[in-house]
């Protein structure tokens, strides 16, 4: 099913024309309402009249997370405060959080995009749908919530926390759909195991998973354990929140809501645009946002765009899975390392639970990498009861890691449940080097 065929299945020419018109309008809007953008454009000798078609977008300056922080809290807001009906803030682990204000129209467009995503996952008004993203300043909870209500399914605002109660509700209410982070889905599966709730006692059939990178192996694992089909949903608060893009039944990339968010891929070093299919940094321009529009926002997410028709009938361009963040990328002894690479190895080994941590340090001016991973309870109890068996497993894991990462890592195999779990976005790196 397609929620809004007019907007999701437009011809490419129509889409580009619409994007061009909207781009001109948004540039004019920020030029007159946000001194930050006016100054930047004036410095470059540009005026809104120079931006006529979507191809003109490359003339515009980029906006970075630092620009958002420097203008904390409301410096980039374009609408008057009286028009703002909701304020979210993104995590802000380093420095000021990013504050994003939404007008009534922004919230309604967000709900529409969320409804497109959920419909694409097969959710209908007949579903009972649990939202287990955190409610609060984080955009996940309320964002998904509005989408479920827009479709008319019954929303259960479970949020995160109190997972045992949630697991029982999933069984007792016959909950059919869930939105949460992929790591929370696994945590939920563990909790159900602990409570003795089996797959055939529950009715979950659809999962909307996002807010953090995940792999195909992880998808298989979640699907097997919860008995549902898992779909990717992507978003970020600076642009809107969840549902900037979403998978369809083909599950070959996520369709971008291009009539609202215009994507580009650039080389993160030269800042030059890259060809379709090439991997680089994803950049978004909001084409319709009123509260806090952003022009060419550098997301720091690495992925590629997949052009061409999709058998599902949607014509909106797709983005590949996120392959890392420019700022999550670890440089260890000069080699780029992404936590997702470690995850892909962990998931190929049946002895391990999908719970791991990278610990990076610097000893005598040399970077060191240690990877901790947890054993599955059944292996811990039965098979691996001798030191020789453990060291054989360690060696096998270390060898596999070296071939994927191109550097060697120390490995440490931990007992089940000993690596800290997170209910929101999972944390996979402890960097003790203090390089900055
Ligand atoms: P932040 O984490 O910067 O505080 P958000 O909470 O808005 O901001 O999170 C947005 C980020 O989360 C994205 O830029 C991206 O890195 C990550 N993210 C969101 N959805 C997905 C997804 N489906 N796959 C991979 N990464 C995702
Ligand atoms: Zn499709």
**What ranges do the domains of the chain cover?**
1-327, 335-431
Residue 128 predicted with pLDDT over 60? yes
pLDDT tens sequence across 353-371:
999 999 999 887 778 999 9
Q: What is the pTM of this model?
A: 0.84
Count of other CB atoms within 10 angstroms of residue 229: 16
Lowest mean pLDDT among 53-57, 224-228, 347-351: 347-351
- In CATH terms, 1-327 corresponds, of 1.20.1250.20, 3.40.50.300, 3.40.50.12780, 2.40.10.220, to 3.40.50.12780
Question: Which of 89, 188, 88, 214 lies closest to 130 in space, CA to CA?
Answer: 188
Q: At what angle do helices 216-226 and 182-195 cross, to 10 degrees?
A: 30
Calculate mean pLDDT across residues 233-259: 97
Q: Ligand 2 centre from 249 Cα, in Å? A: 7
Q: What is the DSSP letter of 258?
A: T
pLDDT tens sequence across 16-30:
999 999 999 999 999
pLDDT of residue 92: 52
Residue with the nearest Cα to atom 5 of ligand 1? 236
Q: Please check whether residue 264 is in contact with residue 205, taking contact to mean a CB–CB distance below 8 angstroms.
A: no
Calculate mean pLDDT across residues 76-101: 87
Lowest mean pLDDT among 271-275, 322-326, 367-371: 322-326
Q: What one-character-per-residue DSSP string does 184-204 give?
A: HHHHHHHHHHHHT--GGG---
Calculate mean pLDDT across residues 398-425: 90
Calculate mean pLDDT across residues 284-306: 97
Whole-number Å distance between alpha carbons of 276 and 138 = 32
Q: Please check whether residue 222 is in contact with residue 230, taking contact to mean a CB–CB distance below 8 angstroms.
A: yes
Calculate mean pLDDT across residues 314-338: 85
Residue with the nearest Cα to atom 20 of ligand 1? 211
Helix (H) or strand (E) holding 405: helix 387-405
State the chain's mean pLDDT as an integer. Answer: 93
Residue with the nearest Cα to atom 24 of ligand 1? 213
Could you tell me whether strands 280-286 and 297-303 are parallel, antiparallel, or unpaired per DSSP bridges?
antiparallel
Helix (H) or strand (E) holding 310: none
Q: Which residue has the higher pLDDT, 433 or 178?
A: 178
- State the greatest distance between any 2 C-alpha atoms of the chain, in Å, as a whole number: 74
Residue 331 predicted with pLDDT over 80? no
Residue with the nearest Cα to atom 13 of ligand 1? 236
**Comparing 1-327 with 335-431, is the CATH topology the same?**
no
Q: Which residues surround ligand 2, an ion (CB under 5 A)?
A: 248, 250, 310, 312, 314
Ligand that lies nearest to the alpha carbon of residue 231, given by its number in the listed order: 1
Report the pocket of ligand 1 as residue ranges, CB < 6 Å.
Answer: 90-91, 139, 210-213, 232-237, 299, 301, 322, 325
Lowest mean pLDDT among 37-51, 105-119, 310-324, 335-349: 335-349
Residue with the nearest Cα to atom 11 of ligand 1? 236
- Which numbered atom of ligand 1 lies nearest the CA of 65? 3
Lowest mean pLDDT among 183-187, 189-193, 227-231: 183-187
Count of other CB atoms within 10 angstroms of residue 369: 21
Calculate mean pLDDT across residues 63-87: 96
pLDDT of residue 93: 45
Q: Ligand 1 centre from 92 Cα, in Å? A: 12
Q: Ligand 2 centre from 255 Cα, in Å? A: 7
pLDDT of residue 436: 40
Q: Ligand 2 centre from 394 Cα, in Å? A: 41
Whole-number Å distance between alpha carbons of 187 and 432 = 27
Please compute, for residue 295, the number of CA atoms within 13 A of its CA located in the half-sphere on the CB side: 29
Residue 401 predicted with pLDDT over 90? yes
Lowest mean pLDDT among 48-62, 203-217, 230-244: 203-217
Residues 6+ apart with CB under 8 A from 211: 133, 140, 181, 235, 242, 424, 425
Whole-number Å distance between alpha carbons of 426 and 183 = 6
Whole-number Å distance between alpha carbons of 66 and 69 = 5
Range with the largest mean pLDDT of 318-332, 339-353, 416-430: 339-353
Q: Please check whether residue 79 is in contact with residue 34, taking contact to mean a CB–CB distance below 8 angstroms.
A: no
pLDDT of residue 327: 76
Residue 201 predicted with pLDDT over 90? yes
Q: Does the domain spanning 335-431 belong to CATH 3.30.1330.10?
A: no
Whole-number Å distance between alpha carbons of 355 and 380 = 14
| 42 φ/ψ sector (left φ>0, alpha ψ -120 to 50, else beta) | alpha
Residue 259 predicted with pLDDT over 80? yes
Residue 95 predicted with pLDDT over 70? no
Residues 6+ apart with CB under 8 A from 368: 360, 361, 362, 410
Question: Which of 331, 348, 140 lies closest to 244 in space, CA to CA?
Answer: 140
């Amino acid at each position: 099913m397609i929620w809004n065929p007019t907007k999701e299945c437009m011809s490419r020419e129509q889409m580009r024309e619409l994007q061009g018109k909207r781009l001109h309008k948004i540039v004019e809007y920020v030029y007159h309402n946000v001194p930050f953008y006016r100054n930047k454009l004036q410095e470059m000798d540009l005026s809104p009249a120079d931006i006529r078609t979507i191809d003109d977008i490359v003339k515009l300056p980029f906006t970075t997370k630092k620009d958002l922080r420097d203008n904390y809290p409301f410096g980039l807001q374009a609408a008057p405060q009286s028009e703002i009906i909701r304020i979210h803030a993104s995590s802000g682990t380093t420095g000021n959080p990013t504050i994003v204000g939404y007008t009534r129209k922004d919230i309604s467009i967000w709900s529409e995009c969320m409804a497109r995503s959920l419909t694409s996952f097969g959710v209908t008004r007949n579903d009972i749908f649990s939202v287990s993203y955190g409610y609060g300043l984080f955009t996940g909870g309320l964002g998904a919530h509005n989408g479920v209500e827009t479709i008319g399914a019954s929303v259960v605002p479970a949020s995160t926390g109190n997972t045992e109660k949630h697991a029982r509700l999933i069984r007792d209410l016959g909950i059919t759909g869930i939105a949460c982070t992929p790591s929370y889905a696994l945590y939920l599966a563990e909790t159900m195991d602990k409570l003795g709730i089996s797959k055939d006692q529950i009715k979950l059939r659809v999962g909307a998973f996002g807010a953090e990178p995940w792999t195909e192996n992880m998808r298989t694992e979640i699907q097997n354990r919860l008995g549902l089909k898992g779909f990717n949903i992507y978003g970020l608060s600076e642009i809107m929140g969840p549902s900037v893009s979403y998978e369809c039944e083909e599950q070959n990339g996520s369709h971008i809501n291009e009539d609202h968010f215009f994507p580009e891929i650039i080389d993160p070093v030269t800042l030059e645009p890259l060809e379709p299919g090439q991997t680089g940094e994803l950049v978004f321009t909001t084409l319709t946002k009123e509260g806090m529009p952003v022009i060419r926002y550098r997301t720091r997410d690495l992925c590629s765009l997949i052009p061409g028709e999709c058998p599902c009938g949607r014509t909106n361009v797709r983005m590949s899975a996120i392959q890392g963040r420019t700022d999550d990328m670890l440089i260890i002894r000069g080699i780029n390392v992404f936590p997702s690479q470690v995850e892909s190895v962990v998931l190929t080994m049946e002895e391990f639970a999908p719970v791991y941590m990278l610990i990076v340090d610097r000893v005598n001016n040399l970077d060191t990498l240690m990877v901790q991973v947890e054993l599955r309870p059944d292996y811990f109890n039965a098979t691996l009861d001798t030191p020789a068996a453990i060291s054989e497993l360690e060696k096998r894991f270390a060898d596999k890691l070296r071939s994927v990462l191109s550097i060697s890592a120390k490995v440490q195999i931990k007992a089940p449940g000993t690596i800290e779990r997170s209910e929101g976005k999972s944390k996979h790196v402890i960097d003790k080097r203090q390089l900055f």
